[in-house]
Chains A and B, each alone.
Chain A
Amino acid sequence: MTEEIIIAGFGGQGVLSMGKILCYSGVMEGQEVSWMPAYGPEMRGGTANVTVILSDNKISSPILDTFDTAIILNQQSMDKFESAVKPGGLLVYDGNGITRHPERKDINIYRIDAAEEATKMGSTKTFNMIVLGGYLKVKKLYKLESVIKGLKKSLPERYHHMIPVNEKAIHRGLEIIKEVATVN
């Protein structure tokens, strides 16, 4: 199995940490992983994205132009990465702030209103974990316990009291993700 993912949104949405948790989940299951952030001018403009590769085999290039999955969390990222999903691939997006919804007919599209749900849950910081839960519902990559272990590894110990609320958010994501269109 090799899964090539771009996660893209605003800085502060937890894009980079979501990628890191995915990577650590992979490490927990003995996989090879790579995490390549955009650290240049884009970052300084307030957007954030990270390329994550999870694989049973050694990873060659950590830098990619096309992806199996795009997780898109703002309009700029939709404009930039909708076309980068491989045919038959997956696009997961949060509808909040999206003015132009995805239009591709050759990919699987799922929507998750995680921003809205995070507000309802009373903790906007769990936003990225709701998205992660939704993604893992569609792509059953890892056992939930590996993801929780990955979460523990990613968080400094002083934040470990936040693990239960993050776990709850992952579960919420599993429940609320909605299919928009599929090709298979």
Chain B
Amino acid sequence: MEEFVLMKGNEAIAEAAIRAGTDGYFGYPITPQSEVIEYLAAAKPHERTGMVMLQAESEVAAINMLYGGAGAGKKVMTSSSSPGISLMQEGISYIAGSELPCLIVNVVRGGPGLGTIQPSQSDYFQSTKGGGHGDYNLIVLAPSSVQEMADFVGLGYDLAFKYRNPVMIQTDGALGQMMEKVKFKPQQPRSKKSPDWATTGKTSDRERIIITSLDLDPSRQERFNEKLQVKYRTIVEKEVRYEKIQCDDAEYLFVAYGTSSRICQKSIQMAREEGIKVGLFRPITLWPFPYNEIREMTGQVKGMLSVEMSAGQMVEDVRLAVEAKVKVDHYGRMGGIIPSSEEIVEALKQKIIGG
């Protein structure tokens, strides 16, 4: 029986990566995510499982190492923070366009540009609406505790291989830097088998396997696009994940993920002490987004406040879900500022209850 240990979110991701049987990690240090690569360097994963841990020369190189590793059917991952993830977008689009599985962790910091090293959630659009070019989607998981930081590594790989699609864990600097107790799953061996689509060297008894995102024939390319869309619709149907907290008697709703969802839980306690019945809807998959499940709440609540550490990005999806049936507004802070529980209660009163 594994016991609880105290760890930073970033370290928990790294340990979980080793335990999940990762074949290769490729990354480049950046605050507030550097503990992932630091932990891996110290943990000597090559001695534990034979896992490769490589500090690439840049984020562009790292994502293309993932492309190569994934093409060979390996379990590969990278992690970075916002500016580094921007650099990876071309490669992410290629990986999605080649239908390859991999895990990408974004420990978000405030932007735009170099911005700040403090926590933010302002990469929601980038994670969920493309980021790179072309019609593709990432599966995006949003942990809200150190335990989930660890658990979502294994879940991310499962989804990535099930759908041959890149998966992103979108977290933030606060969850990356904070310590909580965490329990790990036992060590899983690295896989000895290769998927049948992997380029592992042609044998005489089969055709060549070609992995590419290029097809110059528009009709074939369109057929491929349609196939991708079928896959995405299946993911939308089957993989929506969310958590509802104190929603049974709620008259108002916070919609929040990650660090914001933690702060909202304190706001709920405060608001309920004043007699305001508010609950929390926490999307766990940012894509696929729980549109239907949020829409269902409009039969019960009078209004929703989307709380994000951004100028208001997820609120657009909440509005799409709600179809103007109840009032929806946004409250957020930017630039690496984390909103306080008090501020959020005040925003709920002013923007939703009083507004």
Rounded to whole angstroms, the CA-CA distance of A142 and B340 in the bound complex is 29
Chain B contacts for A65, CB-based, 8 A:
340-342
Q: Is A63 touching B179 in the complex (CB atoms < 8 A)?
A: no
Rounded to whole angstroms, the CA-CA distance of A96 and B90 in the bound complex is 55
Is A75 in the interface zone, CB < 8 Å from B?
no
Q: Is B342 touching A61 in the complex (CB atoms < 8 A)?
A: no
Min C-beta distance of A2 to chain B, whole Å: 11
Q: Is B341 touching A35 in the complex (CB atoms < 8 A)?
A: no
Q: Is A27 touching B117 in the complex (CB atoms < 8 A)?
A: no
Is A164 in the interface zone, CB < 8 Å from B?
no
Rounded to whole angstroms, the CA-CA distance of A88 and B223 in the bound complex is 69
Min C-beta distance of B54 to chain A, whole Å: 25
Q: Pick from A36-44, A127-135, A165-173 the stretch touching chain B.
A: A36-44
Total residues of chain B contacting the partner, CB 8 A: 27
Chain B residue, CB-CB nearest to A40: B118
Chain A residue, CB-CB nearest to B117: A40
Q: Is A20 touching B179 in the complex (CB atoms < 8 A)?
A: yes
Q: Is B4 touching A27 in the complex (CB atoms < 8 A)?
A: yes
Is B116 in the interface zone, CB < 8 Å from A?
yes
Q: Is B177 touching A36 in the complex (CB atoms < 8 A)?
A: yes
Is B338 in the interface zone, CB < 8 Å from A?
yes
Q: Is B179 touching A40 in the complex (CB atoms < 8 A)?
A: no
Is B265 in the interface zone, CB < 8 Å from A?
yes
Is B173 in the interface zone, CB < 8 Å from A?
yes
Is A33 in the interface zone, CB < 8 Å from B?
yes
Q: A35-B6, A40-B116 in contact; A61/B177 too (CB < 8 A)?
A: no
Is B269 in the interface zone, CB < 8 Å from A?
yes
Min C-beta distance of A59 to chain B, whole Å: 8
Rounded to whole angstroms, the CA-CA distance of A27 and B7 in the bound complex is 12
Chain B contacts for A23, CB-based, 8 A:
6, 179, 181
Q: Is B32 touching A34 in the complex (CB atoms < 8 A)?
A: no
Min C-beta distance of B81 to chain A, whole Å: 12
Is B336 in the interface zone, CB < 8 Å from A?
yes
Chain B contacts for A32, CB-based, 8 A:
180-181
Q: Is B266 touching A39 in the complex (CB atoms < 8 A)?
A: no
Of A33, A36, A59, most buried by chain B (CB within 10 Å of CB) is: A36
Task: Choose one: B174, B181, B338; the contact of A33 (CB below 8 Å).
Answer: B181
Is B178 in the interface zone, CB < 8 Å from A?
yes
Chain A residue, CB-CB nearest to B180: A34
The 7 A-B pairs with the shortest beta carbon distances in the complex, nearest first, are A60-B265, A35-B179, A61-B266, A60-B266, A61-B263, A36-B178, A39-B177
A-B contact pairs, 6 of them (CB 8 A): A23-B179, A27-B6, A36-B174, A36-B179, A65-B340, A65-B342
Known: A33-B181, A65-B340. 11 other contacts (CB 8 A): A27-B4, A33-B179, A35-B178, A35-B179, A36-B178, A39-B32, A60-B266, A62-B262, A63-B263, A63-B340, A65-B342
